[in-house]
Amino acid sequence: MLRTLAAAPLAAASRVVEAPFRWVQSAFGLSPMPWLFLAPNLLILGVFTFLPLVINFYYAFTGGAELYPSQRPYVGAENLATLFDCGNYFDPSSCRKDLFWRAMWNTAKFSVLQVTLMVGFSVVTALVLNRKMAGRGFWRGVFFYPVLLSPVVVALIWKWILQREGVLNAVMIASGGAPAEWLTSGGWAFWWVIFVSIWAHMGFYTLILLAGLQAIPRDLYEAAQMDHASPWRTFSRITLPLLLPNLLVVGVLALIRAVQIFDEVFVLTGGGPGSATTFVVQFIYQTGFMEQIRLYGMAAAGSLVLAVALILLTLIQLRVANTEKAEAETR
Amino acid sequence: MTAFLTRTRGRGRLDWTDWFTYLYLALGLFLMFGPVAWLVLSSFKTESAIAEFPPRLLPMGQKQVVVPGEDKPKPVFRVKLPDGSVKELAELRRIGLTSTMVDPAKPDDLVRVPIDARTPVREFKLATENYTDLAAKFDFGQYLWNSVFITIVATIITLLFNSMAAFALSKYRFGGRKVVFLLILSTLMVPPTIVLVPNFLVVSELGLLNSLWGVIWPAVATPTGVFLLRQYMLTLPDELLEAARLDHASEWRIYWRIVLPLTAPALAVLAIFSVMWRWNDFLWPLVVLTKSEKFTLQLALNAFQGDLVTQWNYLLAMTVITLLPVTVVFAFLQKFITQGIASAGVK
């Protein structure tokens, strides 16, 4: 039905686009055709990715609060110098831009904890889902479903549960415990941010690990069963070593995403209480778009620092992927 | 029961790993679906039920009855009468600390009682007004339209542009093919967060601030899509194209009439991904769309939850509507999605 409904407008659209393509082909032959097909995609990438990458550098080395580059005075490395002006990098309050360093340390702490815990849970979940059981597809869906929810929806679901008069506090009181300010007391908020982000993203990594588990040859397990190997021994001697390459890839992938954490935290805690859950991307967003005086240069300098971190992580990822590939070829 | 649980394992005994598996799955079901279920249940609660603490599991509302001679239904209370008996009565009106009650069966018999002698009678009741009021109370239709417009238009353009690029990269041999492919793939490493500030400049220079197109255009040239479609098109035999060329078909025709229809499965996967990406987008729309009439559902949700007095009953209903399309897509296309992710490693 959909096909017949869409057929007429699609054909009309095709005829409109076909005209320039046909003209170029008849005038210049086959050789420019691939470039013509590539043009729209490359144009968009050029305007909205490569050009901004260049402009970002320019911003990072200019000052003032004007948006238009021609009105921005060149200040050299001043923005970066301000960001890095620190008595002691381990103590954000000794830094001129203390919020930046709080955000940096929060991001580092968050990334390590979140990725470690999430990969751990993903492995266990993948192992469980890989067992032969009734309703496998359903169970896979259960763990994957939150991945599809938008960050805003994820944040609101948990905000509703964790707020002062939320269901968690009701359960706490009913079970004889003490209610707590889960999102407005610094210690708790940070851990809940980790928990919620694991809840929302775990299914994705579980799925990749599950594919890795299914690639492990069955006969290895049959041999282990013949030898009456215990489940733990089977896991540590067969599953874990063969899953290791996937684990590394998943770990780095998760790390790249964790460093860029923003959306769900911004809605869940707004970066608070205080700056307890403020991360680097939020620092960039706040500096560039939320303050009265929009310090675009400072925000761009923050982006540069983030970019360097991401490039390093990506290089590691490529390295890991390459060794994995090389190993697979020699195997 | 044991036979059912172990039926695919081929042995009649549950060892500790089986127990662990089912315990883990049960816990997972509770943790993963529980919060969503709680959201949906809560979204059907009336404003007063929402404010209740501790909350009840099910949405309950005060029972109402029609009293003969009154045009509106009246709330029902359980009343302790002066003679010590307890009765369910409807409240006609309340003046100060006294309220006038009546038994719906005997509408002429008015009883005056102090208000602390009555407690509301509750019954299971879905507060559908949380949903039906949305359109009237907020610019909800506008937000929904903005989200739908961005999602559909961006997805169509994504499919077109990405498939054209993939066609060029898979079906032509030309100088620079490899470089272009790597260039496109390298943008995977440039997350939007890095180019937030300069992209804001580009979009405002193009006059696209507070325009839905300002969200659409920067998003359509997805490297993931080009990659996915190119890999698929590589599997199509080149002989098909050669035969068409012999018949003097133009290159556009070959792309449109031959390659595109054959790429349908990969296009479907990309369409699903694109719909989810655009529907869930947050940071970029947050920067580009600052006027409330241009808000997407995600932005509207964010704005309402930040209000000084959060109207949770409406906020929750709006959240449910926002997660509904993704949920429906998932329910029907779960296999597609999970296989697409497992094979391409993209989200």
Can you give the CATH number for the domain in which A280 is found? 1.10.3720.10
What's the confidence (pLDDT) of residue B95? 81
Radius of gyration of chain A (CA): 26
- Kindly list the averaged pLDDT for each block of 10 residues, start to end, along chain B of length 347: 50 72 92 93 86 80 78 82 80 81 79 81 81 84 94 96 96 92 85 84 93 95 91 90 89 92 89 90 92 93 81 90 89 76 61
Mean pLDDT value across residues A100-129: 93
Domain boundaries, given as residue ranges, for chain B? 13-42, 64-120, 134-344
Measured CA to CA, the distance from residue B323 to residue A3 in angstroms comes to 27
Mention every residue, 6+ apart, whose C-beta is less than 8 A from residue A233: A224
* Nearest chain B alpha carbon to A314: B189
Tokens of A243: 């899953």
Comparison of pLDDT for B285 and A309, the residue scoring more: B285
What's the confidence (pLDDT) of residue A64? 80
Paired with B90 in beta bridges are B76, B102
Please answer whether residues B124 and B60 qualify as being in contact, where contact means their C-beta atoms are separated by less than 8 angstroms: yes
Tell me whether residues B202 and A128 touch, CB distance under 8 A.
Answer: no
Mutate one of A26, A31, A153, A263 to test the B interface: name it (highest B CB count within 10 A).
A153
Paired with B60 in beta bridges are B124
Residue A149 counted as domain residue: yes
Mutate one of A24, A36, A45 to test the B interface: name it (highest B CB count within 10 A).
A45
Q: Does A7 touch chain B (CB under 8 A)?
A: no
Tell me whether residues B193 and A146 touch, CB distance under 8 A.
Answer: no
Q: A-contacting residues of B 259-298, CB under 8 Å?
A: 276, 279-280, 282-283, 286-287, 298
Closest CA–CA distance from residue A91 to any residue of chain B (Å)? 26
Comparison of pLDDT for B3 and A155, the residue scoring more: A155
Nearest beta carbon to residue A133 from set B21, B286, B341: B21
What's the confidence (pLDDT) of residue B226? 94
Q: What is the pTM of this model?
A: 0.84
Residue A114: give the domain boundaries: 79-330
Number of domains in chain A: 1
pLDDT digits (tens, 9 = 90+) for A223-266: 888 888 888 888 888 888 999 888 888 888 898 889 989 988 99
Q: A-contacting residues of B 9-38, CB under 8 Å?
A: 9, 15-17, 20-21, 24-25, 28-29, 31-33, 35-36, 38
Residue A177 counted as domain residue: yes
Confidence tier at A186 by pLDDT (50, 70, 90) = confident
Q: A-contacting residues of B 97-126, CB under 8 Å?
A: none
Comparison of pLDDT for A222 and B191, the residue scoring more: A222
What percentage of chain A reaches a pLDDT higher than 90? 30
Query: Domain B134-344 is in which class?
Result: mainly alpha
Average pLDDT, chain A: 87
Mention every residue, 6+ apart, whose C-beta is less than 8 A from residue B30: none
Q: Which of B313, B288, B311, B310 is nearest to B299 (CA)?
A: B288
What's the confidence (pLDDT) of residue A66? 81
What's the confidence (pLDDT) of residue B36? 94
What's the confidence (pLDDT) of residue A60? 87
Q: Does B342 touch chain A (CB under 8 A)?
A: yes
Torsion of CA B172, B175, B179, B185, to 10 degrees: -10
Torsion of CA B73, B77, B78, B82, to 10 degrees: -110
Tell me whether residues B196 and A153 touch, CB distance under 8 A.
Answer: no
pLDDT digits (tens, 9 = 90+) for A1-27: 556 667 788 888 888 888 888 898 888
pLDDT digits (tens, 9 = 90+) for A47-81: 999 999 888 888 888 888 888 888 888 888 888 88
Please answer whether residues A49 and B187 qualify as being in contact, where contact means their C-beta atoms are separated by less than 8 angstroms: yes
DSSP B108: E
Mean pLDDT value across residues A79-90: 82
Tell me whether residues A153 and B342 touch, CB distance under 8 A.
Answer: no
Nearest beta carbon to residue B194 from set A156, A267, A307: A307
What's the confidence (pLDDT) of residue A330? 64
Measured CA to CA, the distance from residue B118 to residue B90 in angstroms comes to 10
* Nearest chain A alpha carbon to B199: A52
What kind and span of H or E run contains B75?
Answer: strand B74-80
Confidence tier at A134 by pLDDT (50, 70, 90) = confident
Q: How many CB pairs under 8 A join A and B?
A: 278
Q: Which CATH architecture has domain B64-120?
A: Roll (2.30)
Tell me whether residues A40 and B165 touch, CB distance under 8 A.
Answer: yes
Mention every residue, 6+ apart, whose C-beta is less than 8 A from residue A83: A97, A100, A298, A301, A302, A305
Contacts of B256 in chain A (CB under 8 A): 14, 18
Mutate one of A157, A262, A264, A310 to test the B interface: name it (highest B CB count within 10 A).
A157
